[in-house]
Structure 1
């Protein structure tokens, strides 16, 4: 019998680990295999893998905070508070073995599960670039970018240090590139602190609240100010000036390139790099042609696949045809990830098709000189688009190109 568990409390200092120990001890006394993932103040430790979850007989979530649930779809899951594990860990194991099955494999679950598995399988720079997410108020964009890259590398302790590094990048006018550098730097600095600075057990509680943020911020801040900031700022200024100067035929090429990037990995680092650059071209009260091209190109992959499931029904399974209905909504909302399940099932045919469609859409959007003054929203922000009729034409043409290529390249379902 194999039991898995996750423990987490709001502070993540004591109860998280006490509950983990209680569950592990109770399971071992019964002769069960057991593994407990802890989500404490130093981040996720002993993380459960997809294979371990697949082979588990039951899963206990002793948590007082939110944890990712998509990975547990289709498994017996018992959800309780941390204190319950401390009071009666033995009873929780018996309840977990009789717990109801969690979730269902709808399109949203599948998208989340594939993204989680894809992120877990990546290593190095490509993995951590997946954290180029979040776009709130523009003054927070670069710090949030840096913070979550650092979070990807070093977990929770890296977040604050990364955001501080991103703020320094803003002060140095290093922009998006400075945020990238600060995020990676902060992540690996915090990782080094966690690995090489060891405190007695009685003092371990101050590591995440004092030692890591203070020492990490000091190291990252000094390196950004005196070593990395100036050259990165110069590079950022050069790139911005070059792209800002593009016009005419070159602007169409730019639209084609960002279109290819948006469809290449459907929410991955290449997609996010194009999106982050586009948001950087926005100015208060002014529209951006690049932002319009990026949003249109990001809408095209799910829309093209949704159309293909209608035009070429013999090319798709019943589940894919059902998923195509949801893809209409995802595409219209500028959620490129809606294409992931289709691409995962047949990448060699789907990915080139959606890249071609998005490239056409991006180029046409630039050709028609459509602009967008907000960073996200799909059809719900069309009030912020100029030249709406031709903008719709660019999306429609790219959608049709994607669908026709899918229909041409994909084989019939047996």
Structure 2
């Protein structure tokens, strides 16, 4: 069979590419030809139209709307969640083959001759309930916001490192840099990098509001969403204000775009009327109605965070750590991660080190599940794991070190209760320890590769090691409690070895 597939997840980072790899390996093992298009955060490299036309079946492993879907018109299609492609690749390939046999694929008439042009995509599917759609709207905004956070946070952190004077570099104004930077001065170079980072961070709230509105109303929502997000920052409503601005701007723009107007006015609707009315409504509501109460909430949250100490600090870190391990890249994980990234914005706006501790705790805790599974399956007790799990364990070392929690998904798919329970315990310990140790982090991603940007790196690594060891020991203990587990694994390995020998 000739199969084409598209993989895409809400954030467009880990699940997208893990699903592609799983499908490629499963198709190759079954003797089929497959070509996969990944529609991730780095964009998409569209499949050639001739490859699509020659395919017998199409697999959409996506939790979001597939871009340029019309390219696949007329083909038998199998649509599945992206996690299913990761966890059950061989079964997905079997289902795709069966789908092709049920409905032979004609070559789509009128298919575009070339690859599609680039386009912005939302994270919203055509189906789903209200809560699902709300989550997808928010994740669209978050996915477009994160690059601003990453660029800004890393530039600020590098600026601090280069300058050697983190306190004074924050008060070195950009005009002084523009008037004539001394390229032999570490302090001035650091100040320039810091100012570039601050400029990137300034787009955090507008991007969040703008792309939530974009997900709701398409392009008409971008202007009111961006303006509302910027106003949320101006009035001190912060992250909550940007969320509100995105929804208000999006729904207002969608409402105005559906007005029945004379044919002569249709041309000016998207250029003049929609942005004018939607921006006016959004701006007034954010500044006059929602700004004061949301500003008070944000200020109260900041005071609460800054007032935490001792056991309370540990509990916050433990809670965030548990959320990171609960669904390994799912909605709960993303809530904790999004909260941490917004704390980076608060820190850039003059917040305290507590804001940066939150980001450090979340990243450290997110590294624990894959590292723990790698340690248990490749070092401590390989016999408790099947051959595929041991192979996944080798990959999990790199994924965990790179802060990709999804590296533990292959283990959780096989044994969800034991793997997730042990991961939560270890990640909670790591999150709590990082908060207590006082480690800070300005980078929103990177894992151990951004260790030079971490405040208190030695204790930070100690916290990760402690959580990893606890989770690894716990998952081994839980698996060992299963009756006859080792014998079952040995039989599975022997069967797998026999199949491999037969194929050879």
User: What TM-score, normalized by structure 2, do the two folds share?
Assistant: 0.56
In 2, distance between residues paired with 1:56 and 1:353?
A: 43
In 1, distance between residues paired with 2:260 and 2:414?
A: 46
Does 2:417 match 1:348? yes
Name 2:233's counterpart in structure 1.
170
In 2, distance between residues paired with 1:216 and 1:162?
A: 9
Say if 2:206 and 2:242, in contact at 8 Å, map to a contact too.
yes
Say if 1:262 and 1:274, in contact at 8 Å, map to a contact too.
no
SS in 2 for 1:374: coil
Does 2:190 match 1:128? no
In 1, distance between residues paired with 2:460 and 2:241?
A: 33
Aligned with 1:304 (options 344, 357, 372):
372
Q: CA deviation at 1:271?
A: 2.7
In 2, distance between residues paired with 1:370 and 1:350?
A: 27
Say if 2:209 and 2:243, in contact at 8 Å, map to a contact too.
yes
Aligned with 1:293 (options 354, 358, 361):
361
Name 1:142's counterpart in structure 2.
205
Specify whether residues 284 and 222 from structure 1 end up closer, same or farther in structure 2 by C-alpha distance, changes over 3 A only.
Answer: closer
In 1, distance between residues paired with 2:427 and 2:219?
A: 35
Aligned with 1:193 (options 232, 245, 256):
256
Aligned with 2:275 (options 194, 208, 213):
213
In 1, distance between residues paired with 2:313 and 2:370?
A: 25
In 1, distance between residues paired with 2:73 and 2:460?
A: 45
Say if 2:318 and 2:432, in contact at 8 Å, map to a contact too.
yes
Name 1:18's counterpart in structure 2.
none
Q: CA deviation at 1:362?
A: 0.8
In 1, distance between residues paired with 2:218 and 2:205?
A: 18
Name 1:245's counterpart in structure 2.
307
Q: Which runs of 5+ in 2 are unaligned?
A: 7-48, 59-64, 79-84, 87-91, 98-106, 115-122, 153-199, 493-504
Q: CA deviation at 1:384?
A: 1.7
Aligned with 1:364 (options 433, 439, 442):
433
Q: CA deviation at 1:205?
A: 6.1
Specify whether residues 55 and 89 from structure 1 end up closer, same or farther in structure 2 by C-alpha distance, changes over 3 A only.
Answer: closer
Q: CA deviation at 1:129?
A: 3.2
Specify whether residues 181 and 259 from structure 1 end up closer, same or farther in structure 2 by C-alpha distance, changes over 3 A only.
Answer: same
Q: CA deviation at 1:381?
A: 1.5
Say if 2:232 and 2:238, in contact at 8 Å, map to a contact too.
yes
In 1, distance between residues paired with 2:284 and 2:357?
A: 37
Q: CA deviation at 1:354?
A: 1.9
Name 1:228's counterpart in structure 2.
290
Q: CA deviation at 1:275?
A: 2.0
Specify whether residues 367 and 210 from structure 1 end up closer, same or farther in structure 2 by C-alpha distance, changes over 3 A only.
Answer: same
Q: CA RMSD in A?
A: 4.4
Say if 2:344 and 2:442, in contact at 8 Å, map to a contact too.
no
Specify whether residues 56 and 346 from structure 1 end up closer, same or farther in structure 2 by C-alpha distance, changes over 3 A only.
Answer: farther
Say if 1:293 and 1:363, in contact at 8 Å, map to a contact too.
yes
The one-character-per-residue Cα deviations of 1:32-60 (angstroms, maximum 9, x if unpaired) are xx9xxxxxxxxx799969xxx8994489x
Residues 197-206 or 274-283, more deviating: 197-206
In 1, distance between residues paired with 2:128 and 2:411?
A: 20
User: What TM-score, normalized by structure 1, do the two folds share?
Assistant: 0.66
Say if 2:124 and 2:137, in contact at 8 Å, map to a contact too.
no
Specify whether residues 202 and 401 from structure 1 end up closer, same or farther in structure 2 by C-alpha distance, changes over 3 A only.
Answer: farther
Name 1:382's counterpart in structure 2.
451
